[in-house]
Amino acid sequence: MSRPLYRQIYERMREDILAGRLSHGDRLPSIRQMTRDSGVSRTTVETAYEQLCADGLVNCVPQSGYYVNQLPRRRERVHTAEPQPQKPRYDFSGKYLDPTSFDFDIWRRLSRAVMQDSASFLGYGDCQGEYELRRQIARYLSAGRGVYASAENVVIGAGIQTLLSILCEMFDKSGRRIAFEDPGFQKGLRIFRDHNYEIVSVPGGASGIDIRALYESGANMLYISPSHSFPSGATLPLDKRLKLLEWAQSTGDGILFEDDYDGELRYTGKPLATLSSLDANGQVIYLGTFSKLLPPSIRISYAVLPDVLVPEYLRIAQRYNQTSSTMEQLTMARFIEEGRLEKQVRRLRRIYGRKNEAITRALDRQFGALATVRPNDTGLHLNVSLRISERADSLCARAEEHGLRIIPLSSYRTEGAESETADLYLSCAGIAEKDIEPAIRLLRELCS
């Protein structure tokens, strides 16, 4: 189909205006003149000019003619060049996955297979998540995490934040006060704040949450990662877990958000019982993610709700469209079904266990007694406290300039408590094994 004549005239004039060949205040050729020059009908030219007026590019001044308008400011903007990717040489931020940690070929093969069935992709997707994936997650969790659920208890979204923003709407906010550990998971806290929850901080840190402070806080919700506290690294022992459940019961309708973001990645010893597996009263909402096991660009997180909360979730979730890509959800379902996820967890456990040891050794070699490292038996990150005179945030800013990305622990603090040491958060997910030694050596050089 060729474009209609009026459209050709309209587009040529518009280009002249946008390119600056016609500028503010210029008069367009009169309709009569344009009709003569172009050999088209008067109506065609009028239609083109009306369209330019409708676009706001041109003004019609009665009895005088058509004049080019002042263009909105942003049209003058120069298109800038592609921003340089800011990937540093050495990355301990945990925002990237080291490419050797994941076999993309398997993922490609599975997504190709999944995409053959076009019929699965015609709608917005189940607001609770694709049934097939929920079923696989339920199976995976019963086998690996002692979380016993069926597909009906599982809900899926593109990241924990999206899930939280729906979960937030399930409760009467005015009667709720939620406790977060400090330092804690700021990206989660943010969602509760956006949704107008009252938030309190409870001391956390290396020794785990202060339960007496939790009681005193008056909170009736708690967000916590008992397997591996984020970012401070504590693992809660069983007796403290049971005390948390006791606390939830003592509040009546208290809710524990158990964020098990890297619970699979325990290197030594036995995995500990999740709060969810200990919960007999339907007070634990279990949160999990694949962002720590697979490349995080695959946006799938999940929550497991106790039976009593499922109907209310479904009522609320109708109001929100699913955010996670159906294609990725169905690929993930196959990935679990074929046993690939369990293999990937074992693979990462080996790699990360080795890397965490290498980081610990390198810190020891370079810093000796100046560094205290903890823990190295679980998860993707460890924390180090350096007894140096510089503050952690200033050290990390200087390191960034030298291509070394490390996050100061203070950036996860709700209240800006000062520390006597420079406390750093080091994730092993993104750094290649061979880079660990030179990266820590560089850190050492920057400290002297």
Kindly tell me which of 397 and 419 has the beta carbon lying closer to a copy of itself. Answer: 397
Give me the least distance between CB of 238 and a copy of itself, in Å please: 6
Give me the least distance between CB of 357 and a copy of itself, in Å please: 18
Sketch the per residue contact string, 225 through 264, with a copy of itself: x for CB under 8 A, - otherwise: -------------x--------------------------
Give me the least distance between CB of 138 and a copy of itself, in Å please: 8
Residues 78-117 that bind a copy of itself (CB under 8 A): 78-80, 82-83, 95-99, 104, 107-108, 111-112, 115
Burial annotation 47-72 (CB, 10 A radius, 16+ → b, else e): bbbebbeeeebbeeeeeebbebbeee
Kindly tell me which of 21 and 75 has the beta carbon lying closer to a copy of itself. Answer: 75
Alpha-carbon 195 to chain mean position: 18
Q: DSSP letters of 305-319?
A: --GGGHHHHHHHHTT
Contact assessment for residue 306 and residue 284, using Cβ atoms and an 8 Å cutoff: yes
Cα–Cα distance measured from residue 352 to residue 87, given in angstroms and rounded to the nearest whole number:
21
> Which one of residues 30, 186, 249, 366 is an interface residue with a copy of itself (CB under 8 A)?
186
Kindly tell me which of 61 and 119 has the beta carbon lying closer to a copy of itself. Answer: 119
Identify the sign of the CA torsion 54, 59, 60, 66: negative
* 305 Cβ contact list (under 8 Å, min separation 6): 153, 154, 155, 285, 313
Contact assessment for residue 300 and residue 293, using Cβ atoms and an 8 Å cutoff: no
> Which one of residues 59, 120, 217, 414 is an interface residue with a copy of itself (CB under 8 A)?
120
Cα–Cα distance measured from residue 327 to residue 341, given in angstroms and rounded to the nearest whole number:
17
Give me the least distance between CB of 66 and a copy of itself, in Å please: 15
Kindly tell me which of 239 and 420 has the beta carbon lying closer to a copy of itself. Answer: 239
Quick check: 211 binds a copy of itself (CB under 8 A)?
no
Give me the least distance between CB of 445 and a copy of itself, in Å please: 27
Cα-based distances in Å from 428 to 104, 228, 290, 378, 448: 20, 15, 16, 11, 24
Report the half-sphere exposure of 393 (CA within 13 A, side-chain side).
8
Number of Cβ atoms within 10 Å of the Cβ of 120:
16
Quick check: 323 binds a copy of itself (CB under 8 A)?
yes
21-27: list long-range contacts, CB under 8 Å, 24+ apart.
22/68, 23/68, 24/68, 24/69, 24/70, 24/71, 25/67, 25/68, 26/67, 26/68, 27/65, 27/66, 27/67, 27/68
> Which one of residues 118, 174, 268, 389 is an interface residue with a copy of itself (CB under 8 A)?
118
Nearest to 89 by CA among 395, 442, 361: 442
> Which one of residues 60, 148, 216, 218 is an interface residue with a copy of itself (CB under 8 A)?
148
Kindly tell me which of 196 and 394 has the beta carbon lying closer to a copy of itself. Answer: 196
Quick check: 441 binds a copy of itself (CB under 8 A)?
no
Nearest to 335 by CA among 105, 143, 106: 106
Binding-site size, a copy of itself (CB under 8 A): 94
Number of Cβ atoms within 10 Å of the Cβ of 195:
16
> Which one of residues 190, 240, 243, 402 is an interface residue with a copy of itself (CB under 8 A)?
190
- β-partners of residue 257 are 223, 285
Contact assessment for residue 210 and residue 243, using Cβ atoms and an 8 Å cutoff: no
Residues 46-75 that bind a copy of itself (CB under 8 A): 47, 50-51, 53-56, 70-75
> Which one of residues 187, 212, 387, 398 is an interface residue with a copy of itself (CB under 8 A)?
187
> Which one of residues 229, 322, 356, 378 is an interface residue with a copy of itself (CB under 8 A)?
322
Give me the least distance between CB of 123 and a copy of itself, in Å please: 5
> Which one of residues 220, 229, 326, 356 is an interface residue with a copy of itself (CB under 8 A)?
326
Q: Give the Cα-Cα-Cα angle 122, 301, 170 (nearest 5 degrees).
A: 90
Give me the least distance between CB of 372 and a copy of itself, in Å please: 28
Residues 364-393 that bind a copy of itself (CB under 8 A): none
Kindly tell me which of 188 and 375 has the beta carbon lying closer to a copy of itself. Answer: 188
Of the listed pieces 189-197, 210-218, 334-342, 411-419, which binds a copy of itself according to CB under 8 A? 189-197
Residues 152-181 that bind a copy of itself (CB under 8 A): 152-153, 158-159, 161-162, 165, 168-169
Contact assessment for residue 163 and residue 207, using Cβ atoms and an 8 Å cutoff: no
Kindly tell me which of 112 and 387 has the beta carbon lying closer to a copy of itself. Answer: 112
Residues 260-319 that bind a copy of itself (CB under 8 A): 270, 272-273, 277-282, 291, 295-299, 306-307, 319
> Which one of residues 30, 31, 40, 131 is an interface residue with a copy of itself (CB under 8 A)?
131
Kindly tell me which of 168 and 222 has the beta carbon lying closer to a copy of itself. Answer: 168
375 prior amide bond cis, ω within 30: yes
